[in-house]
Structure 1
Amino acid sequence: MLRLSTFRALVAFALVLDVRAALKEGDCEVCIGFLGSFYASLIADTVPFSSADIESALVRKCTSARGKENRLCYYIGATSDAATKILSEISRPMSHHVPVEKICEKLKKKDGQICELRYDKEVDLSTVDLKKLKVKDLKKILDDWGETCKGCMEKSDFIRIIDELMPKYSPNGAKTRTDL
């Protein structure tokens, strides 16, 4: 007769195999990444695994989410301006330690936009020529740093602000850029 712990391990392994077959490579990149780090933070902070506690922790985590992760929070209803809430679709399975890949697969069936989110590629500030970037990319660099460029009208204004702030946010990039 199988011991309970062995049975749970077999079920978890079967779920992982099932998930890998259902999700293609690169599907749900933001969902899996965000919920994976969220799940790890729940374990590290020893949060009780009840649906209500998980939902409140998820809403708290989403208040500091930026970029694509903030968009995911909007889609699942964890932001104040979200139109719908499907938090229970995350909290209920997570309270039973269902793998985040399986949770994201179910979320994909509810709202396909969730799995279309992709992380932006990081810009290596030590090697990139800021003059060759688009203004949109320069704004994104500032947004990632939590900064804005008030009064910036031209591309050169954005580049000047990034160069000024680089020692604070990317010391290695600033050091390498001065060597160029």
Structure 2
Amino acid sequence: MKYIFLLTAVALFASSTRAASDPRECEVCMKVMTDIRESMQKDGLKDKPKIESAMGAHCSNEKLSAREKKICYYIDPIKRDVAQPFSLGMPVDRLCKRINKSNPEICGVKFPVKTENLEPQDLTKLRVKQLKSILLDRGVECKGCVEKEEFIKKVQETEHLAGSDEF
């Protein structure tokens, strides 16, 4: 019985550290929050109305990527809830994870996997999930693909569909 408890505890710890160490977790949210923080004057970083207006100003920028606009879409209705921890100087990674508790889509928004200048052997280092993401960004469906090699082949075949706005 002790061993089952011990194995369960080890498995839970391993899964939690693996999830926490994902460098792509909440990456778009963290970029948006960092950009907002950097755009503000130092004296306004503790003022909630100024933070809310900085969020609105940042999100109205026409040059934002589609993924950054999506984060703005999610954040807009909860600006006040975001401004509170933001005003306390909470680090952006913790801020995004906190927002993610109320809106699970926040950390689901990720930048596309860069495929520029990748050699075929580099594609083998990617996970199937990343290969599927590349194909999704290109608007390609890999019907009948089961093995990783099939996804890699489809990514290579659709290399011409990789647009410049993808990066």
Give the alignment's TM-score, normalised by structure 1: 0.52
User: Aligned equivalents of 2:75 and 2:107: distance in 1?
Assistant: 12
Identity among equivalent positions (%) equals: 23
| Contact 2:96–2:107 (8 Å) recurs in 1 | yes
Count of residues paired in the alignment: 109
User: Aligned equivalents of 1:23 and 1:142: distance in 2?
Assistant: 29
Q: Does 1:58 align with 2:58?
A: no
1:83-103 Cα deviation digits (max 9, x unpaired): xx1111211111111111111
Large movers: runs of 4+ above 6 Å? none
Q: Which residue of 2 aligns with 1:175?
A: none
Q: Which residue of 1 aligns with 2:66?
A: 67
1:49-75 Cα deviation digits (max 9, x unpaired): 211000001110011122111000001
The structural deviation recorded for 1:121 is 3.1
User: Aligned equivalents of 2:166 and 2:21: distance in 1?
Assistant: 30
Structure 2 unaligned blocks of 5 or more: 1-16, 120-155
The structural deviation recorded for 1:27 is 1.4
Q: Which residue of 2 aligns with 1:87?
A: 79
1:104-136 Cα deviation digits (max 9, x unpaired): 1111111111000111234648x9x9x8422xx
| Contact 1:47–1:53 (8 Å) recurs in 2 | no
User: Aligned equivalents of 1:70 and 1:58: distance in 2?
Assistant: 11
CA RMSD of aligned residues (A): 2.9
| Contact 2:112–2:166 (8 Å) recurs in 1 | no
Q: Which residue of 1 aligns with 2:113?
A: 121
Structure 1 unaligned blocks of 5 or more: 1-19, 78-84, 145-180
User: Aligned equivalents of 2:19 and 2:43: distance in 1?
Assistant: 30
User: Aligned equivalents of 1:112 and 1:94: distance in 2?
Assistant: 19
User: Aligned equivalents of 1:71 and 1:98: distance in 2?
Assistant: 22
- What letter matches 1:46 in structure 2? K
Q: Does 1:46 align with 2:42?
A: yes
| Contact 1:30–1:69 (8 Å) recurs in 2 | yes
Q: Which residue of 2 aligns with 1:109?
A: 101
